[in-house]
């Protein structure tokens, strides 16, 4: 955790207004993460709000005694999002990637097709596999932070990530059209 985060946490224990600096620092990251999980901006806003409400409440009650504040926030957000998704019985993501500026129509079409292919493959993965891939590659968190969020060892993150990526590879291979086979006649030049 950043030294500054530790200082802000200590201040927030005494004065809830000091929590605003932590909120400002991390609200966008937590919202983007929950939006990817929830696939609904309004639901993501709710989850983000609850995440910070719970964080403030636990900080004030000395319920948090960790090293990585941001990983702790992600863990709260993840648990809240999964809880809501289970209640809704809705765990199929629709848009894992944000839009990007593209230079040509052809590039735009190819990029969109690639995103859709990856999205469909990710959607078929188990939620645990999807979650670890999102945290590590889309959220760009370190393996140590992912371990903190998932409450497991860093070695376990590597193993789970390796297995999740293998499953994603299988899904992508099923998704990608097989290349057209061309028979080559050795007698024709």
DSSP codes of every residue in the chain:
--HHHHHHHHHHHH-GGGHHHHHHHHHHHHHHHHHHHHS-HHHHHHHHHHHHHHHHHHHHTT----S-HHHHHHHHHHHHHHHHHHHHT----S--S-----SSHHHHHHHHHHHHHHHHHHHHS-HHHHHHHIIIIIS---HHHHHHHHTS-HHHHHHHHHHHHHHHHHHHHHHSPPPPP----TT--
Q: What is the mean pLDDT of residues 97-110?
A: 54
Predicted pLDDT of residue 165: 92
> Residue 93 and residue 156: Cα distance in Å, rounded?
25
For residue 96, what pLDDT band results from cuts at 50, 70 and 90? Answer: very low
Q: What is the pLDDT of residues 62-85, one digit of tens each?
A: 656 666 888 889 999 999 988 887
Q: What domains does the chain contain, in order, with CATH numbers?
A: 1-91 (1.10.1740.10), 104-177 (1.10.10.10)
> Residue 135 and residue 74: Cα distance in Å, rounded?
9
Q: How many residues does the chain have?
A: 189
> Residue 170 and residue 28: Cα distance in Å, rounded?
33
Tell me: pLDDT of 153 over 80: yes
């Amino acid at each position: 955790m950043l030294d500054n985060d530790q200082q802000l946490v200590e201040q927030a224990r005494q004065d809830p207004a000091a929590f605003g600096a932590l909120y400002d620092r991390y609200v966008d990251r937590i919202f983007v993460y929950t939006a990817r999980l929830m696939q609904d901006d309004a639901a993501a806003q709710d989850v983000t709000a609850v995440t910070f409400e719970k964080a403030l409440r636990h900080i004030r009650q000395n319920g948090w005694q960790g090293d990585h504040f941001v990983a702790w926030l992600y863990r709260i957000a993840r648990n809240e999002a999964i809880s809501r998704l289970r209640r809704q019985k809705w765990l199929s993501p629709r848009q894992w990637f944000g839009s990007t500026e593209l230079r040509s129509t052809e590039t735009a079409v190819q990029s969109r097709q690639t995103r859709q292919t990856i999205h469909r493959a990710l959607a078929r993965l188990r939620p645990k596999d999807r979650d670890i891939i999102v945290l590590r590659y889309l959220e760009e968190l370190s393996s140590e932070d992912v371990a903190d969020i998932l409450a497991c060892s860093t070695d376990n993150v590597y193993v789970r990530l390796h297995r999740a990526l293998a499953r994603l590879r299988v899904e992508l291979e099923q998704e990608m059209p097989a290349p057209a086979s061309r028979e080559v006649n050795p007698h024709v030049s």
